[in-house]
Amino acid sequence: MTNDGLIPTWRTLEDAFWAQGGKPRPPTTFALGHLKWTRNAHRYPSNSGKTAKWSSSFTSEDGHIVEDPNPPLRNRRNDPDRNWGLGRE
């Protein structure tokens, strides 16, 4: 939560992370208001595995979680319910 008691949006946290010189390798901790937040990046590989898209989530020191409102779509390569595209039962 910030000083006014509200949980910041994902965009606010993402902007604060990069403004404070964030590094893309997870996990990374930074401060916003009176709380420390940890940013975790998540990789979503394409079906071929040649490219990937990234998403992030934030966890505050008091347990609040803020996730990307528009994460990349699941596909057979990055979905555990489809066995990550391995074709095994």
Tens-place pLDDT, residues 60-80: 999 999 999 998 887 877 777
pTM of the complete model: 0.75
The candidate with the shortest Cα–Cα distance to 25, out of 8, 42, 10, 13, is 42
29-68 as b/e, with b when 16 or more CB fall inside 10 Å?
ebebeebebebeebebbeeeeeeeeebbbbbbeeeeebeb
Ordered per-residue pLDDT tens for the chain, 89 residues = 444 568 899 999 999 999 988 876 666 899 998 899 999 988 888 888 888 899 999 999 999 999 999 988 878 777 777 776 666 55
